[in-house]
A and B are shown apart, each in its own frame.
Chain A
Amino acid sequence: MKKNVPRHLERTVSGEEARTTMRGKTRRSFLVGGIAAAGAFGAYEWITRAAPDNEVPWPQRRVLDFNGRLSEAYLSNKRLMTTYPPERAGGVKPNGNYGIEHPLDLDNWKLQVAIPGRAAMSLSMADLKQLPKTEMTTGFCCIEGWSGIAHWGGAQFSAFTKNLFGPGQAVPPYVYMATPDGEYYVGLDIKSALHPQTLLAYEQNGKPLEERRGAPLRLAIPVKYGIKNIKRIGLIQYTDKRPADYWADEGYDWFAGL
């Protein structure tokens, strides 16, 4: 093959010398390459076969949690999920009915609230509606890959929290929410929970929530994947320890932030 190679990279040698030199070089390079390939294969085996931590081999779980901490540090109340005019809403399908399979007596529904060191509280829908109502039309992303636009109405979780904690009172770093039967549950970092686009939603598309969409109250949290937008909330618990999360227990990222 004709190649114009720079002179200093060239060596003209006799056929015998070329053969010997190349034999040595080949042996050395293939040995090094072979060791590198074996090392990479070993590393891959370790990464994919290490003891699982919530269904994920622990080296990968560590990296997921590291990514989560990085994302949490970067998260800002000023950076919002894309918003749209209300008429653009659509494309969000009810996907999964964990924790809402059985009918619920909506009239007797109460929201349980738990705060460390305080007696349990229960709130009614009327209590929630005393908070200012916020409406938003935001992008919605499912961890499966599909996406849509949803129009929500409800109370900002930040306003809800402000009502529960006085000015000087520290808010715990995590929030846990669960369906009344405890079948579905999500864990949230407080920063994402207090993001201005996080709503305790009781309306979708200007109408009270449908049952399959999470009536009477659900979480609308566009800075998280759909899996964190829990339907039919029965319990809200502020907590100092990172709470369990349904899909994180199934091997997904705990943070799941957007």
Chain B
Amino acid sequence: MLIYWAFPTYGVGPFHFFPQWFYAALGIPYRLSEGMALHFFFMWLFVINGVLYIGYTVFSGEWRYLVPQSLSTFRDAWSVVLHDLRLKKDLPPQEKYNAAQQIAYTAIVVMGAGSIVTGLAIYKPAQLSWLATLLGGYETARMFHFTLTVLYLIFFALHVGQVIVAGWNNFRSMVTGWEVVNEEERTPAS
């Protein structure tokens, strides 16, 4: 946010991400250098974390639960969305993660990789000019990079919202890795 302020026309086409009053309300103006120092510090944690996470999911085989295995995942994901919006009653069968989760958690990894690639292109547009060119030029790479970050904010808000809605048993399962399921409830399914 500290970085977005310095160039208020960040956005997609004529649409700007944040209005001036928003920056003013959060005390953001004139703190670009602070934002950049934080950014180029935490970029390392972002990359290291991403590599460790992908490494873990690949070596543990967890990726099988996360990556959509067939096109029907998209149809199922739509059902999940309708269900969560209280427009549909039943959920399609699922394994560890439901179809919408699979798409979201796979997309976030792809987005993370996208952030790194577009970030490198705008971090070193001279020394990595081929990368910037590949992404459609400095301005286009910059647009993608700044848009991805806004999408993370949306992902974060939705994710936390969903955890709150899903309730305690789910939150406990996220932290402990174990979920309690009543036998009577699940027997008909198996």
On A, residues with C-beta under 8 Å from B are 1-5, 12, 18, 22, 25-26, 28-30, 33, 47-48, 55-57, 59-61, 63-64, 67, 71, 74-76, 79-82, 139, 141, 143-147, 197, 222-223, 247, 250-253, 257-258
For B7, the closest partner residue in chain A by CB is A145
Question: With A33-B175, A63-B41 given, is the CB distance from A147 to B126 under 8 Å?
Answer: no
Roughly how many angstroms separate A47 CA and B34 CA in the complex, as a whole number? 12
**A148 nearest CB across to chain B (Å):** 10
Question: With A251-B34, A251-B37, A252-B33 given, is the CB distance from A145 to B129 under 8 Å?
Answer: no
For A192, the closest partner residue in chain B by CB is B126
Interface-central residue, B9, B10, B128, B175, by most chain A CB under 10 Å: B175
Q: Judge whether B186 is part of the interface by a CB distance below 8 angstroms.
A: yes
- B189 and A81 within 8 A (CB): no
- A3 and B96 within 8 A (CB): yes
Number of A-B contacts (CB under 8 A): 119
- B38 and A48 within 8 A (CB): yes
Roughly how many angstroms separate A252 CA and B33 CA in the complex, as a whole number? 5
| Pick from A4, A29, A60: contact of B38, CB under 8 Å | A60
- B125 and A2 within 8 A (CB): no
Roughly how many angstroms separate A30 CA and B178 CA in the complex, as a whole number? 13
Interface-central residue, A2, A59, A197, by most chain B CB under 10 Å: A2
B175 CB contacts on chain A under 8 angstroms: 26, 29-30, 33
Question: With A29-B175, A146-B7 given, is the CB distance from A79 to B129 under 8 Å?
Answer: yes
**B42 nearest CB across to chain A (Å):** 9
- B32 and A71 within 8 A (CB): no
| Pick from B6, B33, B44, B176: contact of A56, CB under 8 Å | B33
- A60 and B133 within 8 A (CB): no
Give B1-37 interface residues, CB cut-off 8 Å to A.
Answer: 3, 6-7, 9-10, 32-34, 36-37
- B126 and A222 within 8 A (CB): yes
- B127 and A79 within 8 A (CB): yes
- B125 and A144 within 8 A (CB): no
Can you offer 24 A-B residue contacts whose CB atoms are under 8 A?
Answer: A4-B94, A5-B95, A22-B172, A22-B176, A28-B176, A30-B175, A63-B40, A63-B41, A67-B40, A79-B128, A81-B125, A81-B126, A82-B133, A82-B137, A139-B138, A143-B6, A145-B6, A147-B142, A247-B33, A253-B36, A253-B40, A257-B126, A258-B123, A258-B125
